[in-house]
Each structure stands twice: as C-alpha cells, then as structure tokens.
Structure 1
C-alpha cells in the first residue's frame, strides 16, 4: 500500500504545430535578447563618450574662464 509511484522524467511529446510554435518562440526570444544586449552595450558606450565630453568641456570652461573684474572705486 505504501508503494511509491515511479516519477517519470520524460516530457510529453509536442504536436507538430506546438513544436513549430515552440521553435518560433525560441528564435524570437533569442533575437530579442541579442537586441537587448546590443542596446545595452551601445548605451554604455554613449554614456562613456558623453561623460568624457562633459569632463573635457568642464576643463576647457575652467581654463577659459576670465578673471573676475575688480570693482572700480565709487567716486563722489
């Protein structure tokens, strides 16, 4: 009475249309993942370029900043 039922690890076979749908879904998900990876890499490159440009602009602005003008004494 306490016999354990054997656990089957075999998956049920898919019908022809299910197999085709599964293949299409797998290819679509791989394509989407590739596009996400490509977008993230491009975003990281653009961020690095923007930060480098901002740093260069900041240094150039600091070097080109005119000295503060002295106020002329008020004459009365």
Structure 2
C-alpha cells in the first residue's frame, strides 16, 4: 500500500468516532483492537481504510512516524 502525505496527516490526527476507544487517536489504538477489526471486517469508507492502514503501519513498527506528524502539527 502506498500512502500520500495528506492521507498520513489525516490518519495521524483522526480520533476513533465510536466504541470502546471513542476519541482515542487512531495511531494510539492497540494492535489487538485493529486485528479484531480485520477478523470481523473493517468499517466501510474512509475510517475502514484508516484502520486497515494503521494495522499495517503497527505491524511494521512505524506508528511513531505518525505520532511525530501529529506532534509536529501541535496536536
């Protein structure tokens, strides 16, 4: 998967809109929660793409890059 800058900035600043982790940054969601979504099915649309991308990023140990983006934006 390739990600453009705009997608990564949005991913770094988006919070989970519902559920147990409501209002938690997607970058801070625990990996088992993202794996659960993969097993049950990611939501449709942008949120599903973001959660799927976040799982891939976490599996590859790159989530700190997104936290750095968020911190650079002053969030």
TM range (shorter): under 0.3
Q: Which has the higher contact order (CA 8 A, sep 6+)?
A: 2
Give the TM-score taking structure 1 as reference length: 0.24
